[in-house]
Structure 1
Amino acid sequence: MEQLDKLREELFFSLDIGTRTVIGIAGVYTNEEKFKILAHSIREHKKRHMYDGQIHDIDGVTELVKEIKSDLERKLDISLKKVSIAAAGRSLKTCKVRVDKELGNNVEIKRNIVEVLELEAVQKAQEIINDNEEQNRFKYYNIGYTVINYYLNDNTMNKLEGHRGDKIGVEILATFLPQMVVEGLYTVISKSGLEVGNITLEPIAALSVAIKEELRLLNLALVDIGAGTSDIAITKDGKIIAYAMTSKAGDEITEAISKKYLLDFSTSEKLKIKLNSQEEHEFLDVVGVKHKLTTREIVASIYETIEDIANEIVEKIIEFNGKAPSAVFLIGGSSQMPGLRECIAEKLGLPKERVSIRDTSFIENLENLDSNLKGPDIITPIGIALESITRKYKNFIEITFNGEEVRLFNAERIKVSDILVLTGYNPRKLIPKLGDNFVYFVNGERRVLLGEDGVEAKIYVNDIIGNLNTPLYDGDVVRIVEATQGEKPKPFLSQCVSLEEKVTINGKQYNLVKEIRINGNIVKNNPILEEGDRIEIIKIENLEELLKDTDEISFVSNILINGEEADLKTPLNKGDEIVIRRSKKIILYVNGKEMVINHNKDKFIFVDIFDYIDFDLSRPRGNLILRINGKDAEYMAPLKDGDEIEIYWSK
């Protein structure tokens, strides 16, 4: 019993649920780092339970899985609990899409703006996928996207961050997997009494064994030619860069044989399979005619169909890769059809040896491979088993997002943005909005005060602040607090206009603002404005107006504004530096007569009088008498208000 428990714990059980057959493999990973196959079981669908890799009859597929489970349990003498499975690559959809976004006036582009732009592009691609779906609209897992180009003001850019512009754009190639495919697989496994231990994609499983990891740096194509479809995966730089599918595959050949030789589908299928292993074939058609033909003759008679299949495969490879890859690996039962490999090579312009059929003989570290597990149709089931052993990552993880359980496909590294795509979360909720603008009028001119900034969204992963690029792992809890809209401004008067506009005159400040009216009413303080208020500012325009209420204006003799000569009519502006030189007044009594003299001298001296009286000094008429207040005076004697001056010639 202890030995059985240990075996059950170490056992790896994988299922490849295909369109024509279901294959189960059970084995263990040995100390020599080899996968030892202990048992396998293969069952064909009795009816069309599946179409193109998608489960249509859940109960029918469930019965087949139960048969395989029972068969393996009998062979191993243990009960099976967990199983590794794969979703069909043919269910994948790709979509190329471009999204543009208006930013406003020369906005600086930050990383979060670019991330939201890419998120919108993926969601737009998802909408396109849904809108084009002929059946019911499914939820799709975004399993990755590649940026083809960025755009700044409609110019192609390699990077947007740090630039400024009015408009940005991005073009992406996004890949999706319908949730229905995954949920259908989970339902079958659950109804079969099993639990999903690991789930991957069939192309990933096949690549893991058909193409060594070190080879994936090369530009290679893997083509799985099954019964209903031919599925394509393309690698480059160590990654799967594209998936594609054509609707022509092995069944096209079977139908061509059936029509050519009047055979039922089952007989044609058996004949097709033998073409790869026998040279001569004998069979009876539906009317009893006996045929004896070589493989070469049969292939030649249906070569047009083989060529059609090759054409579609090559067209898809070129469409998604842009050119012929370095090499092509063929897997799947129908890849063994004589002439198909050579036809694909010819149409790609590759040497024949560059297009090869991969079977299990290429897989390293395998034990107990019997004759039933050596063909190219066994590559995927072996890959599913080995994927479950290596467990490089869990391909589907469960995340709690805003209180709801969500299952996501983890193609490489799942991050917060991926869950937003799957759930259809509106990315605009991540970007704060400006509050509504405040409109007012100043002297009839419309002005706008911009709304306040909103608060950015907060992304929490397990209650720790994260961002759109924060990686997610199975069981993580993600919560988003939406961004907010800023407040509409409620400004004071002083936030919209200057209550004071000072100029400086000879070192002293004066306010040019005489009066402010709001909606016709004079205001003396700093009130809060209302939307649409009309503000009227009445200002002093020039020096003449500033000085008109004083008697100083009549004494102005010289004006400098900001170092430049000006006059009383020169317009004044906030911050002006003004220097005014004023005239001075002195009252004298000259020869008994009162004189009021205006001057701009620092000191008024005796000799200055001659500039204001009619007295000819050029023609002497005797001795010149100069007196101040009855006393003799000199030319340079200072004068003051009220002085009595005498000036005359003495004979």
Structure 2
Amino acid sequence: MKQLKDSKDNLIFSLDIGTRTIIGIVGQYTRNEKFIILDYCIKEHDKRNMYDGQIHDIDGVTKIVVSIKEELEERLGTRLKRVSIAAAGRSLKTCKAKVDKEIDSTSEINKNMIEILELEAIQKAQQMITTSEKQSGLKYYNIGYSVINYYLDDNLMNKLEGHRGDKIGVNLLATFLPHMVIESLYSVIAKAGLEVDNIALEPIAAINVAIKEELRLLNLALIDIGAGTSDIAITKEGKIVAYAMISKAGDEITEAISKEYLLDFNSGERLKIGLSSQNEHKFMDVVGVEHRLSTKEIVKSIYETIIEISDDIAKKIIEYNEKPPSAVFIIGGSSQMPGLKECIAEKLGLPKERVSIRDTSFIENIEGINKDINGPDIVTPIGIAIEGVTKRNNDFLQVEFNGREIRIFNTRDIKISDILVLTGFNPRDLISKSGESFIYYLNGEKREIVGKEGKHAEIYVNSQKGDLNTPVKDNDKITIIKATKGGKRIPHLNDCVPIRRIISFNNNKVNLIKEIRLNGVKVEDNPILVERDNIEVLEIRTVADLLEYMGEDVSVSDIFVNGNEVIEESLLLKENDKVTVNYKRNIRLMINGKEKIIEYNKEDFVFVDIFDHINFDLTKAKGNLKLKLNGKDVEYLAPLKNDDVIELYWTE
């Protein structure tokens, strides 16, 4: 064996590890952005090492990878150390999820609220995927999502930010990849003595070479029809908007042929492959009967299977695209099955020319393709190789999240929100919560004081403050301090009821609160309350209460509140009200032997007031003035009442 030289830095080694075959390509990427294929190697599995794109026998796949590696090394005279690989698109799972969330209608909807809503929807989709795939035992994580619709109070909205409402909602399409797929690929590569240079997703690698970026403004579908499954990628408005998969492909056609003509699986596979290149076929079945049939006859005999596959593909495309696309491109080893592309066109309601098989002739800036590697089955392997050079060392991000090492598949711009989905971080831990309410009872009615507002979550990337949209780079250190719950407010008595409510009554200050009892005991200070304390407040509430409390017996028409005449004694009093009484009273007196009825307008009528109502001259003294009330000497300010007897006279 020749002595191998160390691997050249500009060599690109890629592997497409498929269900039926493994394809290895070695090439160079030139300065003028051309990819030159130097050599290739294609080997079939000698047994069922893989099912539907998933590695089941790691050692069996490793054996073939080692064989391809050594054969290419021998022919190129160099050692291959690093390789680009791809995770099968058939491993992807997509899920639609809708989430509704009650919000405070007084607050304007902001960007952060929308991001948290979307994060909850992604986690709901992840839970749905985990539940539906429970028997498989696979762990899935999100690699992307697109919003289908927003909702505000159950009404469709294009944007939520800036609006107000009671409820917001989002319906989105999330895409997930099982972690086991990546780990099994890495295990094979490590056992083969190689290192992963780059890892891509097969549908992304394929679409990047099959459909140029400028064409993605169109609504196009790419179908990779392999052995185990048919993988679908859909473009629209300049981006890949959806991935899908059906579990029917070339193997179903092989099985239909095998059953129809009594062939073992491998013989049926060889006959199927020959249908795309030969018109006549001669073969012998398992009981020794020889058959001579045309391609047209064989296709007709198993056309029902072709219809089933085409129908499932069309339904899946419409499910994710919501309508037929503008055009469809087909790649993969089974795409060349006669009648298949025409049947897909019919099921989608497209003209036949709108569904075409994409081979390597459409790939730009590539050299070294010969007749053995120019078919639609080579598109994805070439795409993996080109992805390897254009996105080298960009396959995974290694970050530290709250002290834990996390590896995330780098299929797009990664943000903090993606890390939270991967780690299962609860989005509700980003929103602060109010503390428990303080419960008390006021006059038998349950009352509560809302707890203190908690602190919102803090997000840091490399010690710098960030948010859910902060981009994440390799080796970033991410720390999230969870939102906190506020404490309970412990009130004083006057936080629940005022201790004083002062009004003016005839220029005198009166406290409307007559008495406060705390748990049945009268209090006059301002104590700290205890949970579920019972407060009783006895207060003057109405004008009638005030008059009763003050002992006044007057007509309601004589009462004024803040200068306004009172119509009903049930009028409620407020703090700082000014109440006045317009007294209109009569008193009946016997003055110097004569009965006199006097009308007065004041609260009390005293002895000296009678001089305003009788003809008695006090300006000229005629001796000593004698004042008697009911036969006794009296002072000027003595209060009078009905039927009092008064004597007024001068003495020498």
TM-score range relative to shorter protein:
0.7 to 0.9
For 1:121, the equivalent position in structure 2 comes to 121
1:130-279 correspondence to structure 2 within 5 Å: 130-133=130-133, 135-279=135-279
One-letter amino acid of the counterpart of residue 55, structure 1: I
For 1:91, the equivalent position in structure 2 comes to 91
Superposed displacement of residue 514, structure 1: 2.2
1:35 aligns with 2:74: no
Q: Deviations over 1:241-299 (max 9, x none)?
A: 22221222112222222233333322322222222222233333334443333322322
**Which moves more between the two structures, 46-55 or 256-265?**
256-265
**Which moves more between the two structures, 136-145 or 281-290?**
281-290
Given that residues 151 and 157 in structure 1 are in contact (C-alpha distance below 8 angstroms), is that contact kept between their aligned partners in structure 2?
yes
1: CA distance, partners of 2:613 / 2:120? 89
2: CA distance, partners of 1:577 / 1:12? 91
Given that residues 556 and 567 in structure 2 are in contact (C-alpha distance below 8 angstroms), is that contact kept between their aligned partners in structure 1?
no
1: CA distance, partners of 2:340 / 2:568? 100
Gaps of 5+ in 2: 603-608, 622-635, 638-647
Gaps of 5+ in 1: 602-607, 616-625, 632-640, 647-651
2: CA distance, partners of 1:332 / 1:307? 18
Q: Deviations over 1:338-390 (max 9, x none)?
A: 11111111222211111111111110100111222211000001001111222
2: CA distance, partners of 1:131 / 1:304? 34
1:492-507 correspondence to structure 2 within 5 Å: 492-505=492-505
Distance 1:385 1:439, change over 3 A: same
DSSP 3-state at the match of 2:468: coil
For 1:522, the equivalent position in structure 2 comes to 522
For 1:52, the equivalent position in structure 2 comes to 52
Given that residues 504 and 575 in structure 1 are in contact (C-alpha distance below 8 angstroms), is that contact kept between their aligned partners in structure 2?
no
Given that residues 208 and 383 in structure 1 are in contact (C-alpha distance below 8 angstroms), is that contact kept between their aligned partners in structure 2?
yes
For 2:69, the equivalent position in structure 1 comes to 69
1: CA distance, partners of 2:193 / 2:260? 45
One-letter amino acid of the counterpart of residue 431, structure 1: I
Given that residues 583 and 598 in structure 1 are in contact (C-alpha distance below 8 angstroms), is that contact kept between their aligned partners in structure 2?
no
**Which moves more between the two structures, 440-449 or 423-432?**
423-432
Given that residues 450 and 489 in structure 1 are in contact (C-alpha distance below 8 angstroms), is that contact kept between their aligned partners in structure 2?
yes
1:629 aligns with 2:616: no
Distance 1:176 1:548, change over 3 A: closer
DSSP 3-state at the match of 1:9: coil
1:416-431 correspondence to structure 2 within 5 Å: 416-431=416-431
1:572-587 correspondence to structure 2 within 5 Å: 572-578=572-578, 580=580
Superposed displacement of residue 31, structure 1: 2.3
One-letter amino acid of the counterpart of residue 629, structure 1: T
Q: Deviations over 1:182-236 (max 9, x none)?
A: 1111111112121112111100000000001011111111011111111111111
2: CA distance, partners of 1:87 / 1:459? 32
**Which moves more between the two structures, 342-351 or 375-384?**
342-351
Superposed displacement of residue 595, structure 1: 9.1
DSSP 3-state at the match of 1:385: helix
TM-score, normalised with respect to structure 1: 0.86
Given that residues 139 and 422 in structure 1 are in contact (C-alpha distance below 8 angstroms), is that contact kept between their aligned partners in structure 2?
no
**Which moves more between the two structures, 327-336 or 491-500?**
491-500
Given that residues 557 and 583 in structure 1 are in contact (C-alpha distance below 8 angstroms), is that contact kept between their aligned partners in structure 2?
no
Superposed displacement of residue 158, structure 1: 3.5
Given that residues 35 and 367 in structure 1 are in contact (C-alpha distance below 8 angstroms), is that contact kept between their aligned partners in structure 2?
yes
DSSP 3-state at the match of 1:70: helix
Q: Deviations over 1:507-564 (max 9, x none)?
A: 7654212221111112222111001111111223456765789899899995321332
For 2:641, the equivalent position in structure 1 comes to none
DSSP 3-state at the match of 2:277: coil
Given that residues 556 and 580 in structure 1 are in contact (C-alpha distance below 8 angstroms), is that contact kept between their aligned partners in structure 2?
no
Superposed displacement of residue 54, structure 1: 0.6
CA RMSD of aligned residues (A): 3.5
For 2:565, the equivalent position in structure 1 comes to 565
Q: Deviations over 1:428-460 (max 9, x none)?
A: 222222211111111122111112211111122
2: CA distance, partners of 1:225 / 1:399? 36
Identity of aligned residues (%): 61
Superposed displacement of residue 612, structure 1: 4.0
Superposed displacement of residue 487, structure 1: 0.9
For 1:637, the equivalent position in structure 2 comes to none
**Which moves more between the two structures, 539-548 or 163-172?**
539-548
Given that residues 200 and 396 in structure 1 are in contact (C-alpha distance below 8 angstroms), is that contact kept between their aligned partners in structure 2?
no
One-letter amino acid of the counterpart of residue 619, structure 2: N
Distance 1:329 1:554, change over 3 A: closer
For 1:621, the equivalent position in structure 2 comes to none
Distance 1:153 1:627, change over 3 A: same
1: CA distance, partners of 2:136 / 2:267? 36
DSSP 3-state at the match of 2:446: strand
Distance 1:118 1:557, change over 3 A: closer
Given that residues 13 and 26 in structure 1 are in contact (C-alpha distance below 8 angstroms), is that contact kept between their aligned partners in structure 2?
yes
DSSP 3-state at the match of 2:317: helix
DSSP 3-state at the match of 1:8: coil
DSSP 3-state at the match of 2:101: strand
Given that residues 556 and 569 in structure 2 are in contact (C-alpha distance below 8 angstroms), is that contact kept between their aligned partners in structure 1?
no
Given that residues 461 and 476 in structure 1 are in contact (C-alpha distance below 8 angstroms), is that contact kept between their aligned partners in structure 2?
yes
Given that residues 493 and 526 in structure 1 are in contact (C-alpha distance below 8 angstroms), is that contact kept between their aligned partners in structure 2?
yes
2: CA distance, partners of 1:27 / 1:578? 98
One-letter amino acid of the counterpart of residue 49, structure 2: H
Given that residues 16 and 24 in structure 2 are in contact (C-alpha distance below 8 angstroms), is that contact kept between their aligned partners in structure 1?
yes
1:98-497 correspondence to structure 2 within 5 Å: 98-103=98-103, 109-133=109-133, 135-391=135-391, 394-497=394-497
Superposed displacement of residue 582, structure 1: 6.3
One-letter amino acid of the counterpart of residue 620, structure 2: G
Q: Deviations over 1:70-113 (max 9, x none)?
A: 22222222222221111000111122222333447866544433
2: CA distance, partners of 1:579 / 1:300? 105
DSSP 3-state at the match of 2:412: coil
DSSP 3-state at the match of 1:79: coil
1:538 aligns with 2:538: yes
Superposed displacement of residue 325, structure 1: 0.7
Superposed displacement of residue 584, structure 1: 12
| Count of aligned pairs between the two proteins | 616
One-letter amino acid of the counterpart of residue 528, structure 2: I
For 1:82, the equivalent position in structure 2 comes to 82
Given that residues 555 and 582 in structure 1 are in contact (C-alpha distance below 8 angstroms), is that contact kept between their aligned partners in structure 2?
no
Distance 1:434 1:551, change over 3 A: closer
